[in-house]
């Protein structure tokens, strides 16, 4: 691998580690606010990645590192524990717990977008000649810092936009399946959560979600480009 490819893979892994930590910390924090101390007692109401790495070392470190270096894009998983009896007693609180993870990702995405737009307005960044997930902007000034920020912010924006969107697909075991419970009566929300928790439904949901998601990525990325660079056309 070339040195720039190694650096890019490391940056992808760092972005994944931080973004996934924020996602799971959102679940844990909202669960604590709702009365479930399970994740809190496990040290997971925290922005430190260590509790999540200890819980899921393969999904948080091994697989994301391998895929970052071999695929140019991190794939992995993480989890925050919760008390299913608490969720059964309080299905609405469980819905907010589920929604908190993607909300954390969207907060990172919006922050990254605003930094990029500010940099474009000030001339610190410019529209790139060729655009991609890790190159939404190009440095508009000389210096390693501008290039590092352009690439890093691009990665944080893209990764968190896609993570948040993927997790909102209303299929188990994704958060979107639980979030649907906010529009259902409590008893139906409770029944839907139990059904979504079955291993068979989770497996089917993941397979279907992976098939559906590519159809969402392309229009979502095109929309992002139009918002970042209005008037610029990329083939």
Q: What distance in Å separates the CA atoms of residue 107 and residue 102, rounded to the nearest whole number?
A: 9
Q: What is the pLDDT of residue 196?
A: 65
Mean of pLDDT values over 62-80 = 94
User: Which is nearest to 209 in space by CA: 159, 162, 160?
Assistant: 162
Looking at the predicted structure, is the pLDDT value of residue 27 above 90?
yes
Q: How far is CA 83 from CA 29, 40, 108, in A?
A: 14, 11, 27
User: Is the dihedral angle over the CA atoms 4, 53, 168, 118 positive or is it negative?
Assistant: negative
Instruction: Tell me the backbone φ, ψ of residue 36, rounded to 5 degrees.
Output: -100, 115
Residue 155 domain flag: yes
**Considering its fold, how many domains does the chain have in total?**
1
Winning range, highest mean pLDDT, from 28-32, 84-88, 206-210:
28-32
For residues 15 and 101, the answer to whether their CB atoms sit within 8 Å is no
Provide the pLDDT confidence category of residue 170 given band limits of 50, 70 and 90. confident
Q: What distance in Å separates the CA atoms of residue 132 and residue 169, rounded to the nearest whole number?
A: 24
Residue 21 domain flag: yes
Residue 49 domain flag: yes
Residue 235 domain flag: no
Residue 234 domain flag: no
Residue 233 domain flag: no
If you compute the radius of gyration of the chain from its CA atoms, what whole number of angstroms results? 19
Q: What distance in Å separates the CA atoms of residue 45 and residue 144, rounded to the nearest whole number?
A: 35
User: Which is nearest to 161 in space by CA: 214, 92, 91, 113?
Assistant: 113
User: Is the dihedral angle over the CA atoms 189, 194, 197, 199 positive or is it negative?
Assistant: negative
Buried b (16+ CB within 10 A) or exposed e, 147-171: bebbbbbbbbbbbbbbbbbbbbbeb
Residue 8 domain flag: yes
> For the whole prediction, is pTM greater than 0.75?
yes
Q: What is the pLDDT of residue 197?
A: 66
Mean of pLDDT values over 220-232 = 95
Provide the pLDDT confidence category of residue 35 given band limits of 50, 70 and 90. very high
Domain that holds residue 77: 3-228
Looking at the predicted structure, is the pLDDT value of residue 186 above 90?
no
Share of the chain above pLDDT 70, in %: 91
Q: What is the pLDDT of residue 64?
A: 96
Q: What is the pLDDT of residue 65?
A: 96
Residue 24 domain flag: yes
- Arithmetic mean of pLDDT over the chain: 91
């Amino acid at each position: 691998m070339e040195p720039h490819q190694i650096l890019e893979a490391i940056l992808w892994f760092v972005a994944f580690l931080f973004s996934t930590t924020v996602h799971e910390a959102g679940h844990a924090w909202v669960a604590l606010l709702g009365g479930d101390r399970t994740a809190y007692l496990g040290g997971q109401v925290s922005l430190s990645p260590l509790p999540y790495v200890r819980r899921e070392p393969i999904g948080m470190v091994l697989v994301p590192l391998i895929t970052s270096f071999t695929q140019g894009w991190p794939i992995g998983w993480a989890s925050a524990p919760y008390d299913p009896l608490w969720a059964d007693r309080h299905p609405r609180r469980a819905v907010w717990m589920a929604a908190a993870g993607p909300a954390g990702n969207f907060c990172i995405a919006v922050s990254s977008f605003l930094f990029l737009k500010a940099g474009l307005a000030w001339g610190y960044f410019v529209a790139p000649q060729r655009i991609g997930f890790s190159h939404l902007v190009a440095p508009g000034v000389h210096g390693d810092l501008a290039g590092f920020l352009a690439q890093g912010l691009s990665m944080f924006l893209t990764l968190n936009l896609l993570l948040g969107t993927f997790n909102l697909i209303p299929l188990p075991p994704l958060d979107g399946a639980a979030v649907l419970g906010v529009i259902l009566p409590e008893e139906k929300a409770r029944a839907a959560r139990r059904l979504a928790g079955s291993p068979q439904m989770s497996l089917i949901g993941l397979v279907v979600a992976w098939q559906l998601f590519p159809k969402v990525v392309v229009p979502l990325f095109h929309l992002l480009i139009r918002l970042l660079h209005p008037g610029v056309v990329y083939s």
